[in-house]
Every structure is written in structure tokens, then in C-alpha cells.
Amino acid sequence: MSDTTMNPAGAEPAAQPEPTLPVPAAQPGPAAPEPAVHAPVEPGPAAPEPAVHAPVEPGPAGRRAGFAVRAAASVAAAALLGVGVGLGILEVGFDDAPAPAAATAQPSGAPTASAGPAFGAQQNGTHFGSMRDLLLPVPAGFRLGADSGAFGNDTELTEAQRKAWVEDEVRGLPAKLQDAVRKAWQEIPLKGGGVRSFAAEDGSMQATVWLLQYHQAAVKAHDAWVAALGSDSGLFRVGPPIPGHPEAHCYLPDLAPGAEIDELECSAALGDLRVVLHVEGIAPLPKDRIVPLFAQQLDRLAIPGASA
């Protein structure tokens, strides 16, 4: 979970104490004019003040066990080699997806065939087009949110940024695991990546979506590791299902009694893409808004075609 990820066997990194995420104080408005002096009046019962959401600021990177899942995802990448994935699956031919058919020359005066979609998925699970097109557009009730670390809030990762993402994955791991994880990512390279963040217009939550593109067998194994960590480790609360998408899984970290901020992470494997959603917001999180958000992103990446 750069998300990441809810990125994901090896030793787990030492647990770090959970810092409390401060909720920004509401900004003071202009000073009210001084009231005229009157005879004292006995106060009546106070009217309840309307609830005001302070904007949720994104927490520091790698917090709450990196959501603990980013590190676990990297360990899983190294584990892929140990179970015979790694170089073996590369022989299947990551780059062997059929190329788009060449356009047939049209006779002069003949109607021009309509161009194919600019983005989507082939039947073999390979996605094509810009990551920014594959990412869900900003939905109603949201605006572009805060930057996801150094990667921005609406970005298709360059080759340099993909290398930086991998290094971020490695940096938080125990030193004895780092070389193995770097080797795994070299042998199963990150072919593409994109990130887009959304801030709720009422300031109640921030949501960040990551798309990570690499070999399909590795994507599937990697995501299965994250699902097992989230559901079977006892470290997380199980999150809501995503209707129509049994491949998706969501979970939440433990929440201290009285905590004001909660988190949720969802992940899914779709062909050659791992799709990760991370949400931070005022507790309790509005799952009726989060679930449709992730479902719409998965619908957009559907195989054999992506919806507009």
C-alpha cells in the first residue's frame, strides 16, 4: 500500500509507534463588532453548534506500519524470486503482447475508419494508453488533493520517478532485505505507474489512487500477498467489499479508542496493473463514498475493455 502503496516472505520491519495525526484547527474568521451594552440578560440554553470538518491533511509517508503494507509488498517482490517467479516468468514474455494492428490504407474518397480507443485493456489483460487516462477522473464532490510525496497529485511516472518509487519501497526495509528487493524489482521491472489524489470538497477525507504496471503473474502474486496480510495477519480490520469486484480487498489499521482520524486501503490486481486506493479521513470514514470511488476506478480498467 506507496502507495502506496498498499504495495506488498520475509522478516517484517520493526513496528513503529503510531504518531497521532493532528486535525488542523479551524481558521478564525474576522472579529465580530463589539455589542452594545445592555442590562444583563439571563442566558438561555445554548444552541448546538453545527459540525465543521477541518480539512484532512495527508499523514507523513511510511506511517502506520507504511501503512505497513508498502514494506510488506516489497518483501513479497523478493519472495517472488524464491517461489520460482522472477526470471522464470519473464521468459513468458512480458513485452510479447500483440502490437496494435497497422492501419489499412483506405482508397481515395472512402470513409475513414474511426480510430480505436486511446486507452483501455486488451483481452490478454495488457493495458494501454496514458496512465493519466487510465486513472479515474476527479468525481463529483471531490477536487485534486495533496501531493503523494514527491510524485505529485496527478502524474504519470517517468522512468526516473519509477526508479525513485522502487527505492522508496526498499528504503524502509531492514538492511539485510534491501539488496534482494532491489534485485527483484530489476528482474520484474515497473513498466508504468500513475497517481492521482482526490480531496473531498467538505474537507472530510483525502483519497489517493495508484496504478502500478508490471508482469501479470507478479502483479497477481504480489496482490495475493497483500490480501493475505490484510485479512490473515491479525494486524488490520477487514474493510468493506467492492460490489462487482471480487478481486478487490480492503482493510484498515487498528484504531485507538477516541481517535479522530482513520485510514483505509484497498487493492486489486487487474491484468498487468495493481490498483491501490489509500484513504485518510475523519472517523468514521464514509464508506458509502469510498466504495463507489474504487469501484469506478476498477470499472474503468475492466478487461477486455475500459469504460470511458
Dump pLDDT digits (tens) for 226-274: 888 777 767 788 899 999 999 899 998 888 888 899 999 999 999 999 9
Q: Which of 39-43, 174-178, 196-200 has the highest mean pLDDT?
A: 196-200
- Whether 21 shows a pLDDT value over 60: the answer reads no
Three cell numbers, residue 115: 480510430
Assess contact for 289 and 102: CB atoms under 8 A.
Answer: no
Q: Summarize the confidence of residues 118-126 as an average pLDDT.
A: 93
- Whether 15 shows a pLDDT value over 60: the answer reads no
Longest dimension (CA), the chain: 94
- Whether 49 shows a pLDDT value over 50: the answer reads no
- Whether 74 shows a pLDDT value over 50: the answer reads no
Q: Which pLDDT does position 136 carry in this prediction?
A: 97
Q: Which pLDDT does position 184 carry in this prediction?
A: 85
Q: Summarize the confidence of residues 149-158 as an average pLDDT.
A: 95
Residue 53: other Cβ atoms inside 10 A: 14
* Domains recognised in the chain with CATH numbers: 63-90+119-300 (3.40.1000)
Q: Summarize the confidence of residues 74-89 as an average pLDDT.
A: 40
**Bigger pLDDT: 196 or 47?**
196
Q: Which pLDDT does position 127 carry in this prediction?
A: 96
Q: Which pLDDT does position 243 carry in this prediction?
A: 94
- Whether 275 shows a pLDDT value over 50: the answer reads yes
- Whether 216 shows a pLDDT value over 70: the answer reads yes
- Whether 143 shows a pLDDT value over 90: the answer reads yes
Three cell numbers, residue 247: 478481486
Q: What is the CA radius of gyration of the chain?
A: 23
Average pLDDT, the chain: 73
Assess contact for 219 and 269: CB atoms under 8 A.
Answer: yes
Residue 75 is classified by DSSP as H
Can you tell me whether residue 249 is helix, strand or coil?
strand
Q: Which of 17-31, 99-113, 184-198 has the highest mean pLDDT?
A: 184-198
**Alpha carbons 32 and 27: distance in angstroms, whole number:** 15
